[in-house]
Structure 1
Amino acid sequence: MAWFRTLLTRQQRDFENCQRRATDKPPTERRIRQAYERPTAFTNLLPWLEYLPASQCFLLDDGYSVGALFRIHTVGTDARSEAFLSDLRDKLQTALISLPEELENPWILQLFVQDEPHLTDLVDEIRRYAQPRARRSRFSESYFNVLEQHLAAISRSGGLFDDQLVTGGPWRGQRRMVRATLYRRRKVGQQAYAYHHISPAEELNDVADKLTTALLTAGIKSSRCTGQDLYDWLFRWFNPKPVVTDGDTEALLKLAPYPGDSDMPFGHDFAERLMLGMPHSDANHGLWWFDGLPHKVITVQALRNIPPIGLFGAERQVGEHRFALFDRMPENTVLSMTITLKAQDAVRNHLAQVQRGAVGDYPEAKLAARDADQAQMEIARHNKLFPVQLAFFVRGDNEAALHQHINQVHSLLLANGLQPIREADDVLALDSYLRNLPMAYCEVHDQREARRSRLMFSKHAANLAPVYGRSTGAGHPGFVFFNRGAEPLVFDPLHSEDRKKNGHALIIGPTGAGKSATLVYLILQMMAIYRPRIFIIEAGNSFGLLGQYLHAQGVSLNQVTLAPNVDVSLPPFSDALKLLDQRSKAVGSSAHNENTDWLSDELDNETVDGDEQKVDSEAGDDVDSEDAARDLLGEMEIASRIMITGGDSREDVRMTRADRLLIRNAILRAAKTVFDAGREQVLTQDVAQALRDLPGLSAQRQERSVEMADGMSLFCHGLAGHFFNRLGNRWPAVDVTIVDMGILAREGYEDQLTVAYIGLMNHIHDCVERHQNDARPTLVITDEGHIITTNPLLSPYVIKIVKMWRKLGAWFWIATQNLDDFPQASKRMLNMLEWWLCLVMPKEEVEQISRFKDLSTEQKAMLLATRKSPKQYTEGVVLTDERALLFRNVPPPLALALAMTEKDEKARRHQIMQERGCTELEAVNVVAEELSRVRG
């Protein structure tokens, strides 16, 4: 048993020497609480408790106070004068000082500005905007996919290209969003007004209405935001690189969208829904970390000098470049501007204390007293003093990148008269980050603890307010352009809210300005959204590739070139038989029965001295008259005059009113003769013969009539006869008709070109009239207008026929290289066009525009400010009666490739076809890919 005793002794000794662990002790309540302790939740530091849809307010963390969120639409200041900016600043200052002041718990107005690079929602917006007949069609879906890829390329980090010509920085697609919050931290039981008590929500909505009205008076549009707007904004902010979706915040937002405003679970918290990751802080470096990305706030300590108007958002010339200060900020920077609407009585009391304390003969005291005196005088002039705090939220991919961004912001602020707090000296960086978030600023905390706000005159605050920006259009994405800041600039001439009179347009751009590419892009855009009937009249086959592409995408096409071997007939008098119907209605009988003596008698009784007969085809037509009727006889008279005179201005000068009456009589007599013979159309030879056979003329008048008939007979034979003296057939009903003027666009065929244009317009008008009761619009596009429409007689014809189209849903677009060749007689035709798209205007062309359109000094400056960077963008100005917008056209590469008609561009396509054995359209896609790489 000795061995057993030895073993027992050893086990007893080991047990006695064993040390018990602390956790082996019995559990206590203190130890259990410590096991479950965790740091304070970040969401507990955020002020938003829930959204109240009934009052459009956000309930704050005290459970009593409420706040409101607004979307502010910036005012376009592109190429605006200093007088315009000063006037806008003064109106904004008036809006600020008109808000109510409270001695206790004053109102807080915060302004935020940031560039949001996601433009994918723009494609969704365009899809929703598309008309039902176009939506989900093969072409529309294909084009929207092209547009989506294009916008994704524009929005990528680093931008689509470096704009070295104008801004000197990267050009990245984005939306410059300006938001505002308005709130007041009211104590429970505190009355809003001395004479009655209203709830915080009622008080907020009352002040919010005053704010929006005051801003609208200043020309600044604003809209109230919902819970989803705040959710989408801050969700992207606090989840910049989610692991769940491999860093794609937009994808995460689709997975976790705003849950709505009704049927919320018990205990829900608005702030908690914003955070899907675990944020943490670094007190030593003043950093907040979201999704592994460092964030920091930079606070402005003071103004070094008076800020210029629109410091952050308005464009300014700096050296060789022109840009806005916020353009130079690092990506994902957010500016926060907090204005405390402090009661001026309290401010005056503070100034009085300064004055009383500034005693003695030392310079500092004298300077303080003088400044206080001047401040009192400014307040008396309604230039109020408000506490203002400026802060910039900055983030980076890592600490090194963040530090680089902070240095960049510091340099920009110092160079523009703002003194930031140095990164190493900011001991309240973590707290400042939270206090500058929307609705999180606490006036009491800042006054007692942080002391970061600085008194600022309301005029200077208005200078700094980020409401100055670039134009973004009218809001309807028919035409999708951009401004210099890469924000979408959209408007729609076909939308009734965007146009004042009509959707007629002039597109003007000198050689090399990108006119063809712009037209191709606009046609693609209109076809995808409206699926209109499109007629394109051109010279030079600039739209041949476009036609092929449309046809390949399921769009029906009729493509015609006017040539001697092509069976095309454009009789200018094809509608002459309708004159008999008009005449029969005028006399209350039928012209289609066997008794047509009334017509002969009336024609015989017309004399050259008939003053009662109104024959002036250019007299006083209202181009936008709602009750205008088509003047068929006047249109045909113009065509006859062109054929008789050959378009020679000297010949037309000889044309008297009496001669014009003879022409009208001949047209009517030719119509009667053709009707009696049972034929379907009046030909040119019929009118020429009628001129020869007019009865009852004196020898002198008969000689003149025969002379005019001989001139018209030149259009009855040869090439002219081939086009204008044969029966015309109705063209096929297709989506797109492209007519190349071909041989008629050459020198020496000007008269035939003009008559052919008239014939085409007659055919188009017939089509428009046939479809006037459907909802589908018609676009009539004339390219190379400086070649086709320069005959002085053509302008009154265009006015006569186009003035009917507003009621018929047809719109006349004309594109030209310049206005030099347009006669003064074209002024009325050009003024009929409400929309002028002017691309890259040189000074001499601006002067030409002034011949036909009154331009203000600002509009001239805007036109002269446009630029073009090859293979990157073309700038232009859209002018209407109500707006002048500077836009930048950056079309998808496909549109550029389809518009390439230069010799070297054709050679490149041919080379690709030979190398790859592909079709021309496939070569176009290859060229588009090459353009994408060049841009990037």
Structure 2
Amino acid sequence: MAWFRSLLTRQHGDSAHPQRRATDKPPTERRIRQQYERPTSFTNLLPWLEYLSATQCFLLDDGYSVGALFRIATVDSDARSEVFLSELRDKLQTALISLPEELENPWIVQLFVQDEPNLAYLVDQIRQYAQPRARGSRFSESYFKVLEDHLAAISRSGGLFEDQLVTGGPWRGQRRTVRATLYRRRKVSQQAYDYYHISPEDELNDVAGKFSTALLTAGIKSSRCNGQELYEWLFRWLNPNPVMTDGDTEALLKQAPYPGDSDMPFGHDFAECLMLGMPHSDAQRGLWWFDGLPHKVITVQALRNIPAIGLFGAERQVGEHRFALFDRMSENTVLSMTITVKAQDAVRNHLAQVQHGAVGDYPEAKLAARDADKAQMEIARHNKLFPVQLAFYVRGDSEAALHQHINQLHSLLLANGLQPIREADDLLALDSYRRNLPMAYCATHDQCEARRSRLMFSKQAANLAPVYGRSTGTGHPGFVFFNRGAEPLLFDPLHSEDRKKNGHALIIGPTGAGKSATLVYLILQMMAIYRPRIFIIEAGNSFGLLGQYLQAHGVSLNQVTLAPNVDVSLPPFSDALKLLDQSLHPADDLALHENADGCVELSDEIGDEEEGNDDDQKVDSGSEDDPDSDDAVRDLLGEMEIASRIMITGGDAREDERMTRADRLLIRHAILLAAKTVFEAGREQVLTQDVVDGLRNLPGLSAQRQERAVEMADGMSLFCTGLAGHFFNRPGSRWPAVDVTIVDMGILAREGYEDQLTVAYIGLMNHIHDRVERQQNDDRPTLVITDEGHIITTNPLLSPYVIKIVKMWRKLGAWFWIATQNLEDFPQASKRMLNMLEWWLCLVMPKEEVEQISRFKDLSAEQKALLLATRKSPKQYTEGVVLTDERALLFRNVPPPLALALAMTEKDEKARRHQIMQERGCTELEAVNVVAEELSRLRR
């Protein structure tokens, strides 16, 4: 056991006095430093140090220079002429050459364009835009959830559908965002400060203000961005697939929002806040990896030919398809265009060196000398020569996907006259990636080391600038449509800044154009945002399901169908007693005179009232020339005269041509006599029979005039019995005060009932006006929507009536919308009524319908081209053009599946709903939700 005790003693001694193994080396400072070595920080290569909120400037990494960030609104180039595009290019060129030139440390302008696929912001924007009376309501919240799901489906990777008809590519909801930076790296020296006598911030703001003004003169709107906007832009860029939120960058951004502009901790670095993952690079492949996704920049080496105006953003016809070049870029591609405002003296010196060096008789020397001479002449014509660098940031889910995107980009660039540097030949790919980031470009480095920029005339640079695009509307999300690039196109006829005169609208679309689906969608949108009172006058029960849906979500409803067995009365003379309250009757100045032949004549005091058969009628004087005039006063007697004429003539044009001015005077006297008789009898309403009796009993008429009065009374008597008497010769009562009233014209919309249909429409409008007038002092708007206008409102006598009553609605907050399949059935007398409507929404216009529009509205060549360019792809989208006095916008309507399901009225669509109801034992409204889900799956 001695040997065991010896072993324990030795081990105890070793533990008390440990000894280093022979292979161990003593620690050194070098070895300790090696343990803490790490790759060079990517954020140390980024130029942003701090945002200076007081001056709206970004302090750059030298601690002295500053830069500015702008958001640029693209100019609508849809169906624009080459003359317009050339003028826009020239104005943009003027803005570029107006920037000051510096021999040292020149000004640098960078332009960035990318498609941002997240449309979640739009739902939040609409929620905030909703009026307080609608915000938080059961219906609004339900609809906003539908809209949120719809926008998420549109924005998903790969797009909602493949647009084979127009663009030939995927249609994915996004915002095409154009940003610009303006900065100059100034040297930190007392001499520089003394020379300018202003700080870098003041110098930048002075130049930025002038540049923004120059852009605005060109029709290009810009706005200054703050620190949060740069932070959120680059945060999404540099954290594309965060692990902690399962790849959801938006969720990560909510967890790590912009820290603010004040009360920052000591040592705060703007750039360090932008990345939460560890990036790494592959110098051999020229790749940067962010969150495990490969990124690369592709630099353009040279121009193969002069670029077309708006090369990247303007639509062009290529074969069977029409698209903008940037539409074909892969998802998440970013274009960076850097323009160095180099002093032209230095450029001229460079050209002079080329000229002096181009000696000899060999062709290359002669060509170089000639090109230098031409460049000198262009500069003399103010077509300045600037160094320009074009770069494209490309991203992929894998290296294979990235290379596929790069190959696609190379093909697009070569086909459009741009020569990119091949992947294998770009030795500075990693450096170029960071140098082309916002405010990171260094002109001195490029001139001496990288040599990636190329001299380009300012006119060519203006051609390439990504400011040409598609319209995105006014930004007020009352109507939410899209353009062909899947950007939201927003405008609002009810917003005071969007409308010039009124919110009246015409929605026109031929059969199959999606007019009903568009109307249903717009009604849902308006109800969610404004909670207006809505009156829908239709023929065919196209809005029955919509009414059920609204009622199921807390919207009060009154739904009526005009039928013989329905207790509905629409007396056209219900307001006649109000004539007795007026201090001066409109007919007081009218007098009857008999001439020597015993014929009745009208005195000269009648003025310039219209003839019944005039094509372009004047229904009254003064304010009638301007339907929106502020001094409009309702002409009750004139409205009732029109209703009487329709009943007397049956709407027959030949009968109405017989109507003289003297006949009209008899009608007016009969209405007044009927009102007086009813008042004396103590009754509350004047009926049609009372006016008939008034015509028969007019006093003081000659035999000839008495015969005419009786003849007119006999014609009107047809509206006192039978079905017409049921609707028009019974006392009427006020309808319930509800949110939505839907009136189906029912039997009156059939052939042979045209006169009764017109009189019923007048009765409805009288009822609506009474309601609008009684509630004019609240802040709730009213929408009066007439569907199937080509059936309901084509009587020549009706348009003067509509003008008379609608012209007062602007002050009362009521807006008249009329939807129709075509304008062919509208008489020329409707011109003034249609011109009163400021907003024209024209869906999928064939050539013959464009010509019909020209009957009523003056169209420019560009507007005609825009109308003819509209297309429809079944079960995908319907295109249209909104025309106002100030704008013409091409839009694409892609409504939520729910709106489509509610608007389905075809036989096969009804059969499908019935089948679902039978299979599931559900209600028709529940079947609508099932159909909406089927449509949603079909789009996937």
Q: Shorter-normalised TM-score: what interval?
A: over 0.9
Counterparts of 2:778 and 2:181, CA distance in 1:
47
Counterparts of 2:696 and 2:828, CA distance in 1:
34
Native 8 Å contact 2:590 2:606 kept in 1: no
Counterparts of 2:170 and 2:792, CA distance in 1:
41
The structure 1 residue matched to 2:602, chosen from 583, 605, 609, is: 609
Deviations 1:609-638 (A, max 9, x none): 222134546244020101111111110010
Counterparts of 1:464 and 1:239, CA distance in 2:
29
SS of the residue corresponding to residue 606 of structure 2 reads coil
Q: Aligned AA for 1:377? A: M
Assess, with a 3 A threshold, how the Cα gap between structure 1 residues 585 and 241 changes in structure 2: closer, same or farther: same
Assess, with a 3 A threshold, how the Cα gap between structure 1 residues 141 and 603 changes in structure 2: closer, same or farther: same
Does 2:671 align with 1:667?
yes
Native 8 Å contact 1:240 1:247 kept in 2: yes
Native 8 Å contact 2:881 2:889 kept in 1: yes
Counterparts of 1:605 and 1:919, CA distance in 2:
67
Native 8 Å contact 1:109 1:338 kept in 2: yes
Counterparts of 1:602 and 1:148, CA distance in 2:
62
User: What is the deviation of 1:29?
Assistant: 3.0
Q: Aligned AA for 1:224? A: R
Greater mean deviation of Cα atoms: 185-194 or 506-515: 185-194
Native 8 Å contact 2:193 2:199 kept in 1: no
How do residues 215-614 of structure 1 correspond to structure 2 at under 5 angstroms? 215-582=215-582, 584=583, 608-614=601-607
Counterparts of 2:306 and 2:445, CA distance in 1:
28
SS of the residue corresponding to residue 485 of structure 2 reads coil
Q: Aligned AA for 2:673? A: R
SS of the residue corresponding to residue 877 of structure 1 reads strand
Counterparts of 1:721 and 1:9, CA distance in 2:
127
Counterparts of 2:9 and 2:646, CA distance in 1:
133
Q: Aligned AA for 1:201? A: E
- 1:876 aligns with 880
Deviations 1:647-689 (A, max 9, x none): 0000100111111111111111111111111111110111111
Native 8 Å contact 1:299 1:421 kept in 2: yes
Identity of aligned residues (%): 88
Native 8 Å contact 1:192 1:198 kept in 2: no
Assess, with a 3 A threshold, how the Cα gap between structure 1 residues 893 and 5 changes in structure 2: closer, same or farther: closer
Does 2:133 align with 1:133?
yes
User: What is the deviation of 1:934?
Assistant: 1.4
Deviations 1:107-155 (A, max 9, x none): 0000000000000000000000000000010000000000000000000
Q: Aligned AA for 1:799? A: I
- 1:922 aligns with 926
**Unmatched tracts of structure 2, length 5 or more:** 595-599, 611-617
Native 8 Å contact 1:608 1:661 kept in 2: no
The structure 1 residue matched to 2:802, chosen from 795, 798, 816, is: 798
Counterparts of 2:398 and 2:133, CA distance in 1:
50
Counterparts of 1:6 and 1:540, CA distance in 2:
111
SS of the residue corresponding to residue 301 of structure 2 reads strand
Q: Aligned AA for 1:85? A: L
Native 8 Å contact 2:573 2:685 kept in 1: yes
Counterparts of 1:440 and 1:33, CA distance in 2:
31
- 1:852 aligns with 856
Deviations 1:143-199 (A, max 9, x none): 000000000000000000000000000000000000000000011236679875111
User: What is the deviation of 1:935?
Assistant: 1.4
Assess, with a 3 A threshold, how the Cα gap between structure 1 residues 193 and 846 changes in structure 2: closer, same or farther: farther
Counterparts of 2:875 and 2:341, CA distance in 1:
50
Q: Aligned AA for 2:126? A: I
Native 8 Å contact 1:493 1:502 kept in 2: yes
Q: Aligned AA for 2:445? A: H
Native 8 Å contact 1:89 1:459 kept in 2: yes
Counterparts of 1:406 and 1:883, CA distance in 2:
39
Counterparts of 2:112 and 2:889, CA distance in 1:
25
Q: Aligned AA for 1:20? A: R
- 2:146 aligns with 146
Q: Aligned AA for 2:556? A: S
Assess, with a 3 A threshold, how the Cα gap between structure 1 residues 605 and 456 changes in structure 2: closer, same or farther: same
Counterparts of 1:456 and 1:40, CA distance in 2:
35
Does 2:164 align with 1:160?
no
Native 8 Å contact 1:669 1:690 kept in 2: yes
Does 2:914 align with 1:910?
yes
User: What is the deviation of 1:19?
Assistant: 7.9
How do residues 695-710 of structure 1 correspond to structure 2 at under 5 angstroms? 695-710=699-714
Q: Aligned AA for 1:705? A: A
- 1:618 aligns with 619
Does 2:698 align with 1:694?
yes
Native 8 Å contact 1:557 1:735 kept in 2: yes
- TM-score w.r.t. length of structure 1: 0.96
Counterparts of 1:601 and 1:321, CA distance in 2:
66
Counterparts of 2:723 and 2:400, CA distance in 1:
76
Native 8 Å contact 2:593 2:602 kept in 1: no
User: What is the deviation of 1:28?
Assistant: 3.3
Counterparts of 1:641 and 1:744, CA distance in 2:
18
Q: Aligned AA for 1:440? A: A
Deviations 1:74-122 (A, max 9, x none): 0111111111111111111111111111111010000000000000000
Does 2:33 align with 1:33?
yes
- 1:102 aligns with 102
Q: Aligned AA for 1:764? A: I
Counterparts of 2:24 and 2:311, CA distance in 1:
63
Deviations 1:351-407 (A, max 9, x none): 000000000001110000000000001111111100000000011111111111111
Assess, with a 3 A threshold, how the Cα gap between structure 1 residues 270 and 851 changes in structure 2: closer, same or farther: same
The structure 1 residue matched to 2:841, chosen from 837, 842, 847, is: 837
Counterparts of 2:744 and 2:591, CA distance in 1:
40
Q: Aligned AA for 1:879? A: L
Does 2:823 align with 1:823?
no
Native 8 Å contact 2:140 2:527 kept in 1: yes
Native 8 Å contact 2:477 2:490 kept in 1: yes
- 1:62 aligns with 62
User: What is the deviation of 1:24?
Assistant: 4.8
Deviations 1:24-74 (A, max 9, x none): 51x333333222222221111000001011111100001111000000000
User: What is the deviation of 1:8?
Assistant: 11
Native 8 Å contact 1:604 1:696 kept in 2: no
Assess, with a 3 A threshold, how the Cα gap between structure 1 residues 7 and 601 changes in structure 2: closer, same or farther: closer
SS of the residue corresponding to residue 576 of structure 2 reads coil
- 1:811 aligns with 815
User: What is the deviation of 1:933?
Assistant: 1.4
Native 8 Å contact 2:591 2:602 kept in 1: no
Counterparts of 1:176 and 1:98, CA distance in 2:
27
The structure 2 residue matched to 1:774, chosen from 771, 778, 786, is: 778
SS of the residue corresponding to residue 80 of structure 1 reads coil
Counterparts of 2:206 and 2:9, CA distance in 1:
89
Q: How many residue pairs end up in the alignment?
A: 923
Native 8 Å contact 1:191 1:197 kept in 2: no
Native 8 Å contact 1:383 1:458 kept in 2: yes
Counterparts of 2:190 and 2:405, CA distance in 1:
44
Deviations 1:558-597 (A, max 9, x none): 0000000000000000111111112x2679xxxxxxxxxx
The structure 1 residue matched to 2:741, chosen from 737, 753, 761, is: 737
Assess, with a 3 A threshold, how the Cα gap between structure 1 residues 697 and 414 changes in structure 2: closer, same or farther: same
Native 8 Å contact 2:592 2:601 kept in 1: no
SS of the residue corresponding to residue 874 of structure 1 reads strand
The structure 2 residue matched to 1:718, chosen from 692, 712, 722, is: 722
Counterparts of 1:888 and 1:435, CA distance in 2:
39
- TM-score w.r.t. length of structure 2: 0.96
SS of the residue corresponding to residue 87 of structure 2 reads helix
Q: Aligned AA for 1:823? A: P
Counterparts of 1:879 and 1:100, CA distance in 2:
41
Counterparts of 1:151 and 1:602, CA distance in 2:
62
SS of the residue corresponding to residue 577 of structure 1 reads helix
- 1:202 aligns with 202
Deviations 1:227-251 (A, max 9, x none): 0100110000000000111000001
SS of the residue corresponding to residue 113 of structure 1 reads strand
